[in-house]
């Protein structure tokens, strides 16, 4: 992790991409875009990667507006993750990152417009993506070719000028630090559940699933409802 911190400090985008490859599972354009947007935002805001003490204090906050590959590039580069409570996901469907200092709630929002990125894709790569990934009907040879072209596009995007982004200074309403809640035991399944996620039925505590209540989850298309007996 110290090496990754050093790579970010040195703005070594290629090195960061190799870390991101392991984290994300492959290299693709929007993974690289998340890295590039993060480096731009960090430079504009004058902050470094969230380090060990910073992750405990949640000193910076990253807000992403989609749950695409872009978000993984942001997590690797900024050190702001869902698990350390420094990543906020807004289900807006936009390729944008807002990086914020908790001390002042001043931040930088970096937005990437997909139409402006077209020139960074090798010829035929987006058509191949539609066939292999979107339509799920590509051959093994086409899949291999796609990953080759996708990596080429990723490296182009990784080094694109910051002028390709819409960059704006923002003031963000305060976001609470992660509270610590007590747990209680579901009277049906016997598992512990966060107190704020339990409901009472006939005076007995139940987890939302056992109670047949609806609950929210994040899938590929965003935040959706689960449960409710349907």
Mean pLDDT confidence for 81-105 = 95
pLDDT at 102 over 90: yes
What pLDDT score does 52 carry?
63
Longest dimension (CA), the chain: 64
Please report the pLDDT score of residue 138 as a whole number. 87
Summarised one tens digit per residue, pLDDT across range 63-92 is: 999 999 999 999 999 999 999 999 999 999
What confidence tens digit (pLDDT) does each residue in 6-57 have? 999 999 999 999 999 999 999 999 999 999 999 999 999 999 998 765 455 5
**Residues 103-124: what's their mean pLDDT?**
95
Please say whether the beta carbons of 101 and 60 come within 8 A. yes
Kindly write down the DSSP assignment for every residue of 114-138, as one continuous string.
Answer: GGGGGGGSPTTHHHHHIIIIISS--
Cα 60–chain centre separation: 15
Percent of the chain scoring above 90 in pLDDT: 87
What's 82's DSSP letter? T
Query: Between 186 and 57, where is the model more confident?
Result: 186
Q: CA torsion 69→72→74→79, rounded to 10°?
A: 180
Q: Which residues contact 31 (CB under 8 A, 6 or more apart)?
A: 17, 20, 21, 24, 69, 70, 72, 73, 154
């Amino acid at each position: 992790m110290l090496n990754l911190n050093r790579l970010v400090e040195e703005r070594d985008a290629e090195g960061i991409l190799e870390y991101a490859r392991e984290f994300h599972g492959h290299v693709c354009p929007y993974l690289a875009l998340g890295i590039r947007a993060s480096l731009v935002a960090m430079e504009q805001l004058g902050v470094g990667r969230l380090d060990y003490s910073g992750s405990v204090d949640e000193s910076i906050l990253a807000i992403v507006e989609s749950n695409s590959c872009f978000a993984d590039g942001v997590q690797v580069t900024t050190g702001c993750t869902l698990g350390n409570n420094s990543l906020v996901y807004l289900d807006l469907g936009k390729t944008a990152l807002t990086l914020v200092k908790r001390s002042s709630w001043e931040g930088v929002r970096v937005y990437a417009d997909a139409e402006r990125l077209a020139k960074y894709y090798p010829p035929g790569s987006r058509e191949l993506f539609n066939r292999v990934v979107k339509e799920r009907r590509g051959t093994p040879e086409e899949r291999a070719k796609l990953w080759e072209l996708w990596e080429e596009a990723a490296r182009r995007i990784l080094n694109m000028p910051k002028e390709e982004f819409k960059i704006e200074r923002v003031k963000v309403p305060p976001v609470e630090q992660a509270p610590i809640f007590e747990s209680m035991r579901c009277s049906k399944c016997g598992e512990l559940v966060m107190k704020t996620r339990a409901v009472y039925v006939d005076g007995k505590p139940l987890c939302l699933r056992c109670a047949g209540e609806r609950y929210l989850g994040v899938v590929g298309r965003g935040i959706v409802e689960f449960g409710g007996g349907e």
